[in-house]
Amino acid sequence: MTDPLTVFLVPAGHDRFELYSEAPDESPTSPAQNDRVFRQWAHRASVRWHALVEVARHGSPVGRLARWRDRVVSRLAETIAEQRTLWALRDQSSVVLRTPSSLETARVRAILEALLAHARSHHLRWLIIDLILFTVSGILFFVPGPNLVAYYIAFRLVGHLQSWRGARQAMEAIAWTFEPDPGLAELASLVDVPRETRAPRVAAIAERLKLPRLTAFFDRVAVPSS
């Protein structure tokens, strides 16, 4: 029997929290031969987007335009990757949620329910928008060269679909177990501390939690009080 997935409730500012985990990267799943043409096309575009991301991260671009393109592709890929916590919830039946130890259980449950409800409506809305944009982007099929727009929109479309499914599963079927964590409570106290000053303490918390990418995530989402 495999251990349940562990997700972290990361403080991101005054009364703001984000769900976080370091789920592994997912490669696009090949569609069945009897799948509809749209799904097969979306799969091919998603595969090409993955290939573009690999080139952007590990290639050797020549010229200013190529370097700019690779930076944009890499940044977009990082943004999409933050949805992987929701993706990982799609097939789960039980999940452990590590929470700041300063929060009471009732408060944690209310925060979790609000985050999941927002995620479900947000990703459904963008799923519909990206479906329309992806259809329109087919016009660029006749433009020579890689159709970056279509590849990106297709990958976003698949990502929003998986995120919506994960949020729905989390709200309707997952049994949640809450585990207070003093490290996350300490992280909450660092939101208003300047990034350079807090960096060693955030890194130490990330090391204790065995989350090597937590520092970069926290720096992106933390919003100091005004």
d(CA 99, CA 101): 6
Position with higher pLDDT, 165 vs 74: 165
Query: Is the pLDDT score of 203 beyond 80?
Result: yes
* Closest of 46, 75, 53 to residue 154, by C-alpha: 46
Cβ atoms 24, 2 nearer than 8 A = no
DSSP-derived secondary structure letter, 140: G
In the numeric block, the tokens 């433009």 are attached to: 143
pLDDT score of 66 more than 80: no
Interatomic CA distance for residues 59 and 40, integer angstroms:
27
Residue 68 banded pLDDT, cuts 50, 70, 90: confident
pLDDT at 54 (0 to 100): 75
41 pLDDT more than 60: no
Sorting pLDDT into bands at 50, 70 and 90, what band is 71? confident
Question: Residue 135's pLDDT is what?
Answer: 80
Q: Which two tokens stand for residue 86?
A: 């929701």
Mean pLDDT value across the chain: 83
With 0-12 CB in 10 A as exposed, 13-18 as middle and 19+ as buried, what is 105? exposed
| Contact assessment for residue 188 and residue 106, using Cβ atoms and an 8 Å cutoff | no
The region of weakest confidence among 29-38, 49-58, 60-69 is 29-38
pTM here? Answer: 0.77
In this predicted structure, what is the pLDDT of residue 195? 94
> How many C-beta atoms lie closer than 10 Å to residue 72's C-beta?
13
Q: What is the pLDDT of residues 168-197, one digit of tens each?
A: 999 999 999 999 999 999 999 999 999 999
User: Averaged over 42-50, what is the pLDDT?
Assistant: 63
Which are the contacts of 206, defined by CB distance < 8 A and separation ≥ 6?
212, 213, 214, 215, 218
Q: How many CB atoms lie within 10 A of CB 202?
A: 20
Task: Determine which of 21-35, 44-58, 81-95 has the lowest per-residue pLDDT on average.
Answer: 21-35
| Residue in 187, 180, 178 with CA at minimum distance from that of residue 214 | 187
Beta strand spans in the chain (E)? 5-13, 16-20, 94-100, 175-181
pLDDT of res. 64? 80
Phi, psi (rounded to 5 degrees) for 143? -80, 130
* 220 Cβ contact partners less than 8 Å away, ≥ 6 residues apart: none
Does residue 101 or residue 216 have the better pLDDT? 101
Give SS3 for 117: helix
Q: What is the pLDDT of residue 182?
A: 97
Residue 24 binned pLDDT confidence (cut-offs 50, 70, 90): low
23 phi and psi angles, rounded to 5 deg: -65, 145
195 closest CA partner among 169, 224, 167: 224
